[in-house]
């Protein structure tokens, strides 16, 4: 398998789906000539032209609204937002329209739209540009929420998302775009709602997604030196949520740590922890630990930003508390 970056894997998925289905098109701010804020759409304009790769005005509400209309009209729009922080300006379109139209039209209308956006902290972009907002979308019925960690998953899940009939929020951590990994050659897709056991273990289950998966893997390596065998589960999607794989792991290990970059209070990890309690309470030897971003606006100062974010060291300390 080829070693390519997360960014290149996404670009391949977009290229293949644009080529496969003439209904697919991309729209967003600077996705054409500039190639996207993080160069994910680089080179696609030259191949598919302005009709299929469309630069838009700077208005997220308008971009998402136009995408919803195109989806209802039979097209397959892929809307790129420069950052999920700007998605807050389009929340009415996302929550009140994209998520609800299929339900409110009695199933007679579909909204097969993919809304792609980078998110996450760690780059000194300040409080308004460093947020992880997956919990907002997880909280809204009608939206699929996809949040891959590896290049292979990024490609396979994006191809699946594009072919979905449901609206999909596809979240990419900014720190992962340059991350390299093995990606299968040829056509492949990854189903939504199927978690991946990245590392098997018997002493504690570490559940995570997106960039925090790598923190979990580093913590697992450190814990191995202490004689603790940690299992790492990458959820890959939050809606649908593969809680069965998580519960199976927790029943084996008896202990669970949920790691996520959203704020600790009301974050996606709180929902995951609640479902673990509901489904595997009798198997738990200790309370579920959560490692998350502190409940504070993201500091600009580099050291303070690092302190606010979850880390491998924090996961190790959580595992030691459980032990």
H-run or E-run covering 170: strand 168-173
For the question of residue 60 being annotated catalytic, the response is yes
User: Among all chains, which residue has been given the structure tokens 């198997």?
Assistant: 283
CB 169 within 8 A of CB 137: yes
Backbone angles phi, psi at 20, to 5 degrees: -75, -40
Active-site position among 29, 80, 97, 129: 129
Compute the 3-state secondary structure of the chain and give helix, strand, coil in percent, each to the nearest 5: 40, 20, 40
Burial (Cβ within 10 Å: 0-12, 13-18, ≥19) of residue 281: exposed
Length of the chain: 323
The span from the CA of 166 to the CA of 113, in Å, is: 7
Distances (CA, A) of 307 to 62, 118, 283: 37, 21, 33
Residue 266 structure tokens: 């009301």
Output the six-digit token pair for 302.
């580099």
The one catalytic residue among 8, 29, 60, 271? 60
Longest dimension (CA), the chain: 58
**Known catalytic residues?**
60, 129
């Amino acid at each position: 398998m080829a070693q390519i970056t997360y960014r290149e894997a996404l670009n391949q998925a977009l290229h293949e789906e644009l080529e496969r289905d003439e209904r697919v098109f991309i729209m967003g701010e600077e996705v054409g000539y500039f190639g996207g804020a993080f160069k994910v759409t680089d080179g696609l304009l030259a191949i598919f032209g302005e009709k299929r790769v469309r630069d838009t005005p700077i208005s997220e509400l308008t971009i998402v609204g136009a995408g919803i209309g195109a989806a209802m009209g039979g097209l397959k729009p892929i809307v790129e937002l420069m950052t999920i922080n700007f998605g807050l300006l389009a929340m009415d379109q996302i929550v009140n329209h994209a998520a609800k139209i299929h339900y409110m039209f009695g199933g007679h209308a579909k909204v097969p739209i993919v809304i792609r956006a980078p998110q996450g902290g760690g780059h000194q972009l300040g409080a308004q540009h460093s947020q992880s907002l997956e919990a907002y979308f997880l909280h809204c019925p009608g939206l699929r929420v996809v949040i891959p960690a590896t290049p292979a998953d990024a490609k396979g899940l994006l191809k699946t998302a594009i072919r979905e009939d449901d609206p999909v929020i596809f979240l990419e951590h900014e720190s992962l775009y340059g991350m390299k990994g093995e990606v299968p050659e040829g056509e492949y897709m990854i189903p939504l709602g199927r978690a991946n056991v990245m590392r098997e273990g018997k002493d504690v289950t570490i559940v995570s997604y997106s960039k925090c998966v790598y923190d979990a893997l580093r913590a697992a390596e450190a814990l191995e030196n202490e004689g603790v065998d940690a299992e790492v589960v990458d959820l890959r999607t939050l809606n649908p949520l593969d809680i069965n794989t998580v519960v199976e792991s927790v029943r084996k290990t008896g202990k669970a740590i949920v790691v996520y970059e959203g704020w600790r209070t009301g974050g996606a990890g709180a929902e995951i922890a609640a479902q673990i309690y509901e489904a595997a309470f009798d198997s738990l030897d200790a309370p579920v630990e959560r490692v998350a971003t502190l409940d504070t606006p993201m500091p600009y100062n580099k050291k303070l930003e690092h302190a606010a974010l979850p880390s491998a060291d924090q996961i190790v300390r959580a595992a030691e508390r459980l032990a």
